[in-house]
Structure formats: structure tokens, C-alpha cells
Amino acid sequence: MPDVVEVSERLLRNSLERGLSEVEVYAVRTLMKTLTVADDRVLEGAVREDYDIGVRGVLGRRVGSVSTNVLSLDVGRLVDKLYASARSSPEDPYWSGFPTDVGGLNQVACYDESTAGISEEELAGLLSHVAGKLKEPALARGVDRATIAEGMVASGEVEVFIANSHGVSKSVRCSGAMMWLTLSLKRGGAHSDKTLSYIRRRVDLKEIEAVSIREGERALMFFNSSPIESGKYDVILTPSVAGQILMSVLAPAFSALNILEGRSPLKGRLGDRVLNEKITVVDDPSIEVAVGSRPFDDEGIATRTKNVIEKGVFKTMLHSYYTSRRMGSEPTGNGLRQRPASQPVPSFTNLVVRPGKGSSDSFAEEVKKGLVVYEVIGSWMSDPATGRLKATITHGMLVEGGKPVKPVKGVILGGNVYRLLSESLQGVGGDLEVVDYVATPSLWISSADIAGR
């Protein structure tokens, strides 16, 4: 991306000339094609090419930042704004500079040319093919109506450039594909639905076909669903739900910044057993085609694989360069940022729960009475500072004696995630599934609180 690199380097040079003691530039170029779906047809197509540049500038220990998407910007004016921002900022007593180029690039393949360069026609063809597979099980069983009510499919690439005044200068280009489609079924007067979600660095047609057929079959399970009685239930979380819950309530607690600043229950727990010994959680930036895979973090530090939880013991916290210097630790390559101008904070790349044995199906056969959970909403409202899980089940199946007895919606799953994944954990499945940034198998939890009728 010559324009963005050229502008970024000019910003870096001019900022240093203006008198800033340290400068860092982070630029992103996004190229994406998207098709939106409504009622079985394409509602619209979109082609998007964006640029965003963030600059952080330092005066001693005072740090300020600016960001822009305007390549034709007045560099001098932006640098003045950056200088004023740093000057207005109070000193950060813990500031210890931007990283130097420590080298050791982790070789991670995150680019697939056919995914990045997909044409509009190919994207439309992919959408039709996947929608057909998703509807196949329902149509084979003679429902009255099967439609893709809403959804989208997108494919393209993201290119990142990072440079700082200590010699870091790196860029990487990664491809990406994303799809979510909601299948709506009607049979008699009843309705059911299921959503397919798929995010990868590369479109793997065989994988997406298999996921589509599975979700299409699951869509047939939820006609006439309703809440169940409140009480304690064994709960079997399918991989996508387990992943969603881990990401919202557990993962933020691994951040060294949250630990340092008193908003993680894992503060002071390094080396302690915090989860059941069946649980090992790995931060793995090298999984082929997973969306969190990347050779370096948003500060240019090489990423690496590490066990965060090993057999239930909290082994490694996730560091940005800032937190690693504050705590006298090695950086872990986990400095990620929400916006181009923001300070990188520790976060995971891909979070993997090591698989055990069994699956949601085999757990459901084994449990006397339990609730298998296929979709939830609101899990993001859980509280990682306290470990309290909150999620509302929209797609669940009550099972008794190994048989499905009643589809369930509109009940709340709650509890302390550390208790649920310690003494209440009955099983970790072998059915590992990569869902977004998390790969987990199914989890079987006994005696969880369900609020319903």
C-alpha cells in the first residue's frame, strides 16, 4: 500500500522533526466485498476500500495520539495536533517507550489469494451454494418453507503497516472471509431457525459445506420451543457457545493490564489452580486459516504460542510491551488495539481449549437430564472482572435419558465461570471447532443455574 506507507513514513519523520521524542505509526488498509441477503435474495452488494492511520507521539513520558483516514491530509496540521495532545497529557509514570525491533518474526501464513481476490460473481456463487446446503436437510424433510431470512457474506484482505522511531518497520497482508446466514423454517403454524456463522482467513468449501448441512439439520430441532422451569440443570455447551462464553467472561481476565489494574479475578493467582485440571487453554497465533492468526502483534512484536491455563493452572498472562516492561516480563506478542490511535492492550490471538473425549452428542446421551445449548444471546454482558457468566439461551434442547424431549428458548444461564469450569465441569469433548477467534470442544457442566418459568 504505497500511499499509506508513504504518508505514514512522512508522519513519522515530521513528528520527530517537530520535537516529539518517540513516534509510532499504525496504518491499516481494508479491501472487502460484501453481499447482504434478505428473504433468499441478494439485497445489495458493497465494495469497500478503507484507510486508517493512527499516530502516537511521546514527549518524555507524556503520550498523545491522533488518527485519520484522509490520505490527502495536511501532515503539518496533524503533527501539530499530535504534539499538542502529547503536551496536554500528564506523565505516565510507568511509560518505558515503544519497543525496539526484536526480530524473530513468527512465520504465519495468513494470506490466501483466492479469498482476497474473489470476484463479485464468485462471491454470489459461493453464497448460493452455501445457502443451498443450509436449506438441504429441511427441504429433504418436507418443511413448508425454508428461506435465508437475513445474512451476509464478505471476502477480502487487510494490510497492516507498523513503524516506530526505534526501528520497527513491518507490514503484513492477511485475507479474510466472513459469513452469517439465518435459516428460517415454517412447518404447519410453527417456526424454527438457526444461524450459520463462519469466519476464516481462507474459504474452505468442504468445511463450510459440512457446517452448513449440520446447522441446517439443527434448524429442524427448534419448532415450538419455549422456556423450561427454573432450577439446577446439567448443561452441555456446544463448541460455538463454549467459545462465545470463554471469549466474553474468561479471556479478558488473562490480560496483564487487567491484572495490574485490579479488574481480573486472576490477580495474584499465577501458578494457582484456577480451573479444572481437564482444562488447558492455549493462545495460538499460528493456526492455519484461523482469523486471529498473525505473525506479529499491533506493536510489531513477534507472536508465539503459549499455554495460558495448563491443566487448570494459570501459567502465563498475556502482555503488551507496556505491561511486560511494567512487570519486568518478556513481551508475549499480545499487544492488540481497538483503534489505530489507541494504546495496544493485552488480548488473545486465537484461544484454543485442548480437546478431551466425547462430543455434545455423546454427552447428551450420557446425561440423565440436561440442557444442550446451541445458541445464546447476551453473553457479552457477562462480567470478566467478577467471573460472572450471564447468557440467555435462544436455542436449547432439553434431553432426558439420552433423548431430546423439548426445544427451549428464553431462559438464562448464570453462574461463576471459575466454579462452572472447576468443580462443576464434567467433561471436555473431543469435538474441537474453530469459531471466530476461539477454538473449543463441547463442555459438560453439572448443576448450573437456569432461570426460566
Partner 1 sequence: MLDPDFIDALCSKLNADFIDARVQRHYSELVLLDNGVVRELSSSYINGVGIRVVVGGSVGYSSTNSVERDDVAKAAMRAYKIARAVSEKSISVQLYERPTVRARAVANYSIDPESIDSSEKVELLKDMHREISTVSGIASSVLRFGYERDQRYYISSDGDSVEYEVRMIGVSAALVSHVDGAYESLRDHESKVAGWEFMKSVDWRDWASWRAKLVVESARAPRVEPGRYDVVLDNDMVGLMLHEAFGHATEGDSVLAGGSVLRGRLGQVVAGELVSIVDDGVVEGGAYVPFDDEGTPKKRTYTVRRGVLEGFLHSLVTARALGGEPTGNARVMTYRDPLLVRQTNTYMEPGDWGVEEMIRDMGRGLYVRGRGASGGEVNPLTGAFTFTSGPSYVVEGGEPVRLVKGVMLTGLILETLKRVDAVGKDLVIRTSVFGGCGKSGQTVRVGDGGPHVRVREITIGGG
Q: At what angle do helices 205-219 and 120-140 cross, to 10 degrees?
A: 40
If the CB atoms of residues 315 and 409 are measured against partner 1, the closer one turns out to be: 409
Smallest gap from Cβ 251 to partner 1, in A, equals: 16
What separation in angstroms does the CA of 50 have from each of 4, 63, 69, 221, 252?
A: 11, 26, 8, 41, 29
Smallest gap from Cβ 37 to partner 1, in A, equals: 8
If the CB atoms of residues 100 and 230 are measured against partner 1, the closer one turns out to be: 230
If the CB atoms of residues 22 and 284 are measured against partner 1, the closer one turns out to be: 22
Q: How far apart, in whole angstroms, are the C-alpha atoms of residue 453 and residue 451? A: 7
If the CB atoms of residues 259 and 275 are measured against partner 1, the closer one turns out to be: 259
Contact status, residue 149 vs residue 172, Cβ threshold 8 Å? no
Smallest gap from Cβ 346 to partner 1, in A, equals: 13
Q: How far apart, in whole angstroms, are the C-alpha atoms of residue 75 and residue 87? A: 18
Unique residue bearing C-alpha cell 494459570: 314
Smallest gap from Cβ 184 to partner 1, in A, equals: 6
Among candidate residues 148, 247, 246, 265, the one with its CA nearest the CA of residue 196 = 148
Smallest gap from Cβ 424 to partner 1, in A, equals: 14
Contact status, residue 225 vs residue 349, Cβ threshold 8 Å? no
If the CB atoms of residues 252 and 355 are measured against partner 1, the closer one turns out to be: 252
Among candidate residues 432, 128, 411, the one with its CA nearest the CA of residue 282 = 432
Smallest gap from Cβ 361 to partner 1, in A, equals: 23
Smallest gap from Cβ 444 to partner 1, in A, equals: 20
If the CB atoms of residues 386 and 422 are measured against partner 1, the closer one turns out to be: 386
If the CB atoms of residues 241 and 282 are measured against partner 1, the closer one turns out to be: 241
- Strands 369-377 and 231-237 come out as parallel
Unique residue bearing C-alpha cell 427451549: 408
Smallest gap from Cβ 88 to partner 1, in A, equals: 4
If the CB atoms of residues 80 and 366 are measured against partner 1, the closer one turns out to be: 80
If the CB atoms of residues 90 and 103 are measured against partner 1, the closer one turns out to be: 90
What separation in angstroms does the CA of 269 have from each of 274, 317, 449?
A: 8, 10, 26
Among candidate residues 430, 433, 394, the one with its CA nearest the CA of residue 192 = 394
Smallest gap from Cβ 190 to partner 1, in A, equals: 12
